[in-house]
Amino acid sequence: MKNEIATIISNERLTEGIYDMWIKTAIASEAKSGQFIGVYPKDGSRLLQRPISICRIAENKESLRIVYRVAGKGTDEISSYKAGETVRILGPCGNGFAPEVLKPGGTALLLGGGIGLPPMLQLGNELRERGCEVKYVLGYRDSDTFMLDEYEACAGAENVTVATDDGSKGVKGTVIDAINEKGLTGDVICACGPMPMLRAVKQKAAQMGAMAYISLEERMACGVGACLGCVCKTVKKDDHSKVNNARVCVEGPVFLASEVDI
């Protein structure tokens, strides 16, 4: 994990409240799908880093991409940064996905909901490099389907299924409704999104007899495991603390679904 001053390559608005930033950083050489970086606002009154998932890692391992939602004053400030400016970041943070759990030739169902969509792009790239088949199921509130064209370009439109809450595009309902309607299956399920979605994914994976890896979203303060502000409940007791807790910023954000109590 490094704390460095990085250079912004670009920072553009994707849609209402959602921004897309490329950063030139040495952190990219060590990052993998499912991990995140902490981005520090420049305003001295905002001391804490803002944890943002890694969306893509450049092929040359010299830059990475984050796609983030403006959720408060810190991310609002970050959205105003321009290309060429510097920003202090921490990373790579957390425990990411493990593409090696799926053997070449296997099929992965990658589920993204809302701002949980971006991390699935890098994971899909890593799985395809291993010779795995990748199917995306993307959940949106309405027809504002940001990043959909990228997923279709990477995996082919036939391998991307869309679900919208209001039925304005794709299947009406949740990503689980889309899986059921289309009869989709996979050897491994990986998901990132809101907690109700992740609970449903855990249940669906158990019904399918598939392993499921889920990326939990929690508020974080330090991002390095010191403050214990982002713990989640686990099925087994931690060997060190002897309690049923794990730190999302260190042991997570990616967990085997069967190991967390959600």
pLDDT (tens digit per residue) in 59-109? 999 999 999 999 999 999 999 999 999 999 999 999 999 999 999 999 999
CB 142 within 8 A of CB 148: no
Residue 122: inside a domain: yes
| C-beta neighbour count of 2 within 10 angstroms | 14
Q: Which CATH number belongs to the domain containing residue 183 in this structure? A: 3.40.50.80
pLDDT at 218: 81
pLDDT at 240: 67
Residue 67: inside a domain: yes
88 and 128 belong to one structural domain: no
Residue 148: inside a domain: yes
What is the DSSP annotation of 51-101? EEEEEEE-TTSSEEEEEEE--SHHHHHHTT--TT-EEEEEEEESB---GGG
36 and 76 belong to one structural domain: yes
103 and 89 belong to one structural domain: no
14 and 43 belong to one structural domain: yes
- Domain of 139, in residue numbers: 99-216
Residue 171: inside a domain: yes
Q: Which of 93, 121, 147 is the last residue of a domain?
A: 93
**Tokens linked to 119:** 């991390």
Q: What is the pLDDT along the chain (262 residues), one digit of tens a residue?
A: 899 999 999 999 999 999 999 999 999 999 999 999 999 999 988 888 999 999 999 999 999 999 999 999 999 999 999 999 999 999 999 999 999 999 999 999 999 999 999 999 999 999 999 999 999 999 999 999 999 999 999 999 999 999 999 999 999 999 999 999 999 999 999 999 999 999 999 999 999 999 999 999 888 888 888 888 899 999 888 776 788 999 999 999 999 999 999 8
Interatomic CA distance for residues 253 and 123, integer angstroms: 14
Q: Which CATH number belongs to the domain containing residue 38 in this structure? A: 2.40.30.10
145 and 205 belong to one structural domain: yes
104 and 212 belong to one structural domain: yes
pLDDT at 67: 98
104 and 181 belong to one structural domain: yes
Interatomic CA distance for residues 32 and 45, integer angstroms: 31
Model pTM? 0.94
106 and 39 belong to one structural domain: no
162 and 208 belong to one structural domain: yes
Report which of 96, 100, 121 is spatially closest to residue 111, judged by C-alpha positions.
Answer: 121
Residue 184: inside a domain: yes
What is the DSSP annotation of 182-232? HT---SEEEEES-HHHHHHHHHHHHHHT-EEEEE-----SSSSSSS-TTEE
Residue 194: inside a domain: yes
Domains in the chain, number? 2
